[in-house]
A and B are shown apart, each in its own frame.
Chain A
Amino acid sequence: MLKKRIIPLMLLLDGRLVKTIQFDSWRNVGDPIQSAGVYNSQYTDELVLLNIARDKRSIEQLAALIPEIAKVSFMPLSVGGGINSLADAAYLINQGADKIIINSLAYDQPEIITKISQEFGCQAVIVSIDIKEDDNGKFLLYSHCGQELEGTTLLNHIKQCEDAGAGEFMIQSIDHDGMMEGYNIRLLEYVMNNTNIPVIGCGGSGNYQHLKDAFVKTEISALGCGSLFNFSDSNPIRAKNYLTNYGLAFKKV
């Protein structure tokens, strides 16, 4: 049986890890290489490293860090933020990344998804989608680190990316980010019902109960956690031990 995954989200800003609240008010939460080493010793399922610097949208920072992280972490590593071309993606994969996360580029140049997936297989492309809800509960899509509203609908965007060759979606609720009040269950359910590829749900983890709610109420393949592991005594081992009591299966080491 395929296991559920719990994925620490590591947000990178000027060489340090940070945590945001609704994509703003950054707090420094540590060193990326050290953190990756700790997560590796906790038999974490997978890591996500996102460069969230709004001014420098290039792969420079990721390119410097990935070889170091790959020396201390023997688990899948997904990276994103500032990837602008197939050459960028190829370079990072060559340095030790397993999956490339595309967000803003997926709106204007969905062909980048196709190119990466033809070269490295569709499993190498994660499309990340940042979403806010309006007062009527309509899902609005934002690109460029949550700064630009996109005109398309969530459903159309999902279909377009899937057709272009995406291997996985990462769904981030901007409203729930950093609030530590639980995941946006309605959003995760909506996405799961409308795609046939695996989905990582993000935004809102504050305690293990929140993970349980999302895993039990939706079919979600994986959950990303930022604040939960950054600001509390929690870690992936404890999270899995708790969730095992509710019939959820995780990897056996």
Chain B
Amino acid sequence: MIGILNIGVGNVQSVYNAIYENGFDPVFVNSPDEIKDLSHLILPGVGNFSAVMANLNKLNFVNPIKNFSAENKPMLGICLGMQLLASYSEEGNKTSGLNIIPATVSKIDNTQQLRVPHVGWNEVNCTQKHPIFINIKDQRDFYFVHSYHMQCNNRENVIATTHYGTELTCAVAYKNVVGVQFHPEKSQKNGMQLLENFCNWDGQC
């Protein structure tokens, strides 16, 4: 069963609708003890990094999520959900993340007349093959909307980048865990394909 983490922040209904449209029947995960029964876990996300981490800590979600990822079951972080995989973020006060992928999250540098947030459709350039990109052509556009970006300590965790001022990491992977900065649930055909790929993925690379 595919679970979508629901801690009351952001547009989780759209993620649900997109998974359902792909022929799956996902559930919203409202309490930590529901996680162990899942085959796949999705961390959706908009919101403020430190506020969401505080909420995850308060509701005792952190260890169940980490245990799930340690069991080699497929896990997908979307937007803020991807950033939560990092070691820490500079958003708000410097806040620790789930620390599943060694990385930091910092604000997009807007010194070179770049408009921030980065809003709109931008090309996703695959830097490594990954099962979530099956049947998606390289350099297709996905919908982005974010002010912070994730920087991985290890290049091998980066599976795609996008160009906005500089190369921004926009998809990361570590074993059975994958994260995307863009919103597949809002990216129509290619986004739907990516979500279908994730739902069919066994977590092996």
A: residues with CB less than 8 A from B are: 1-3, 5, 40, 43, 45-46, 67, 70-71, 74-76, 93-98, 118-124, 167-168, 196-198, 221-222, 250-253
Contact = CB atoms under 8 A, between A and B. Distances in A.
A97 B145 CA distance: 14
B140 interface: yes
A145 B147 CA distance: 31
Interface stretch (B32-40, B66-74, B96-104, B118-126): B118-126
Most chain B CB within a 10 A radius of its CB, from A45, A74, A253: A74
A194 B15 CA distance: 35
Contact of B188 (A67, A74, A98, A124): A74
A196 B121 contact: no
Nearest to B140: A252
Contacts of A197: 115-117
B199 to A, nearest CB: 15
B191 A74 contact: yes
Contact of A120 (B10, B140, B187): B10
Contacts of A196: 110, 113, 115-116
16 contacts: A3-B120, A3-B141, A43-B189, A70-B14, A74-B14, A74-B188, A94-B8, A96-B14, A98-B186, A120-B46, A121-B46, A196-B116, A197-B116, A222-B120, A250-B121, A252-B139
Nearest to A67: B13
Interface of B: 8-14, 17-18, 21, 46-48, 51, 80, 110, 113, 115-123, 139-141, 143, 145-147, 163-164, 183, 185-192
Contacts of A75: 143, 186-188
Question: Chain A contact residues: over half helix, strand or loop, or mixed?
Answer: loop
Contacts of B9: 119-120
Contact of B119 (A40, A95, A97, A221): A221
B188 A2 contact: no
Nearest to B148: A121
A115 B191 CA distance: 30
Question: Chain B contact residues: over half helix, strand or loop, or mixed?
Answer: mixed
B119 A168 contact: yes
A2 B170 CA distance: 14
Given A74-B17, A252-B139, A123 B146 contact: yes
Given A121-B48, A222-B120, A198 B115 contact: yes
Query: Which 6 A/B pairs are nearest by Cβ-Cβ distance?
Result: A251-B141, A251-B121, A123-B145, A3-B121, A123-B117, A96-B13
A252 B140 CA distance: 5
B117 A167 contact: yes
Contact of B120 (A2, A120, A121): A2
B10 A198 contact: no
A119 B115 contact: no
B140 A253 contact: yes
A2 B21 contact: no
